């Protein structure tokens, strides 16, 4: 695996490879890699000649300084994991490369950023759109891979690509989970063993909500899930929403949507986790 920390070196290498006909897949990550990230890398390897995984803990997408400070950083282990699966390139820039000065550009994605993550993490998607735009300019990938776990992020990136005519195909990859159903997340490393067991209730609640939707009203399902989670020690629900899977509008009639997503965010102690399930398979 080639490791780049300098942009001019990465660009020179990619230029040579692209002029020889190579296609490039990009997986932007913040490191602390797990099997979810690695599955994105493996999808890219199947569809592109060269796979670039970026690792950069992007400060502009954190609205909470302690979340940024406590975000796990495991670069040496990450390098080994990427080596093991034969990833071609790791791009690991630092803050001085990514942000010479604080960016002045501001994005506005309207409703897409006003709900769920955007509502509870003001400025988050502005930071995400900024850093992903930078990576798209730096690497000019043919395809870029994002996880369904961050569904709202995926929809925002698709909008970004459409609005700014980036020549990249954005691909959504299914959520990789533990056997318990807990969605893999770098933040799981901060959970105590007991919190980790409790955290599996988030996915169980989503699955229960899915089956309840066949039996009762949307409002009743939302209330049932809220009541159920309120009884579990150490889980503080932030939101549970049932939204259109394409534009995140509120769902009032299940029949009127191509896809519907059930989305949840909750704290286990100080660790904030998110998860979602699509209603239709």
Taking the C-alpha atoms of residue 184 and residue 152, their distance in angstroms, rounded to an integer, is 17
Question: Of the two residues 35 and 256, which places its CB atom closer to ligand AMP in the complex?
Answer: 35
Question: Of the two residues 18 and 278, which places its CB atom closer to ligand AMP in the complex?
Answer: 278
244 SS3 class: strand
What is the C-alpha end-to-end distance of the chain, expressed in Å? 36
Question: Of the two residues 16 and 174, which places its CB atom closer to ligand AMP in the complex?
Answer: 174
Site residue total, ligand AMP (CB under 6 A): 17
- Residue 185 binds to ligand AMP (criterion: CB under 6 A): yes
E-assigned strands of the chain? 2-4, 24-29, 50-55, 89-91, 143-147, 169-173, 235-244, 260-268, 271-278
| Window of 88-96, 183-191, 218-226, 242-250 that interacts with ligand AMP by CB under 6 A | 183-191
Contact string 35-64 vs ligand AMP (x = CB under 6 A):
-xx-xx------------------------
Q: Which single residue is written with the structure tokens 């998110």?
A: 274
Which of 26, 175, 235, 279 is the binder for ligand AMP (CB under 6 A)?
175
Which of 24, 29, 125, 129 is the binder for ligand AMP (CB under 6 A)?
29
CA 18 to chain centre: 27
- Residue 190 binds to ligand AMP (criterion: CB under 6 A): no
Output DSSP code: residue 200.
H
Residue ranges in 48-192 assigned as alpha helix (H): 65-70, 75-84, 95-98, 111-114, 116-120, 124-139, 151-164
Q: What are the residues facing 54 on neighbouring strands? A: 28, 91
279 SS3 class: coil
**Catalytic pick among 8, 34, 37, 111:** 37
| Window of 63-71, 180-188, 194-202, 256-264 that interacts with ligand AMP by CB under 6 A | 180-188
Question: Of the two residues 36 and 245, which places its CB atom closer to ligand AMP in the complex?
Answer: 36
Catalytic residue list contains 37: yes
* Tokens coding 221: 């399902």
- Residue 25 binds to ligand AMP (criterion: CB under 6 A): no
Contact string 134-153 vs ligand AMP (x = CB under 6 A):
------------xx-xx---
Question: Of the two residues 130 and 185, which places its CB atom closer to ligand AMP in the complex?
Answer: 185
232 SS3 class: coil
| Window of 73-81, 90-98, 160-168, 169-177 that interacts with ligand AMP by CB under 6 A | 169-177
- Residue 276 binds to ligand AMP (criterion: CB under 6 A): no
Angle between helices 151-164 and 124-139 (to 10 degrees): 50
Task: With residue 135 as reference, give the H or E element that holds it.
Answer: helix 124-139
- Residue 176 binds to ligand AMP (criterion: CB under 6 A): yes
Residues in the chain: 281
Taking the C-alpha atoms of residue 271 and residue 238, their distance in angstroms, rounded to an integer, is 12
CA 88 to chain centre: 22
Active site residues: 37
Binding site residues, ligand AMP, CB under 6 A: 29-30, 36-37, 39-40, 146-147, 149-150, 173, 175-176, 183-186
């Amino acid at each position: 695996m080639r490791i780049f920390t300098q942009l001019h070196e990465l660009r020179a290498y990619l230029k040579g490879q692209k002029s020889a006909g190579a296609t490039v897949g990009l997986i932007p990550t913040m490191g602390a890699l797990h099997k979810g990230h690695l599955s994105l890398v493996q999808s890219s390897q199947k569809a592109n000649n060269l796979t670039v995984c970026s690792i950069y803990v992007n400060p502009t997408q954190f609205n909470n300084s302690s979340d940024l400070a406590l975000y796990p950083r495991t670069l040496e282990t990450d390098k080994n994991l990427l080596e093991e699966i034969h990833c071609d390139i790791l791009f690991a820039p630092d803050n001085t490369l990514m942000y010479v000065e604080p960016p002045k550009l501001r994005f506005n994605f309207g409703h897409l950023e006003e709900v769920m993550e955007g509502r509870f993490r003001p400025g988050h998607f502005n930071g995400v759109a900024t850093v992903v735009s930078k990576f798209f300019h730096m690497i000019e990938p043919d395809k870029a891979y994002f996880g369904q776990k961050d569904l709202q992020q995926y929809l925002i990136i698709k909008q970004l690509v459409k609005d700014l005519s980036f020549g990249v195909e954005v691909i959504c990859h299914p959520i990789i989970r533990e056997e318990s159903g807990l969605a893999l997340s770098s933040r799981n490393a901060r959970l105590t063993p007991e919190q980790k067991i409790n955290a599996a209730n988030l996915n169980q609640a989503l699955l229960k909500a899915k089956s309840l939707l066949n039996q009762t009203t949307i409002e009743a399902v939302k209330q049932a899930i809220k009541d159920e989670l309120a009884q579990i020690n150490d889980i503080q629900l932030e939101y549970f929403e049932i939204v259109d899977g394409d534009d995140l509008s509120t769902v009032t009639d299940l029949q009127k949507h191509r896809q519907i997503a059930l989305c949840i965010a909750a704290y286990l102690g100080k660790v904030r986790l998110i998860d979602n399930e699509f209603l239709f398979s």
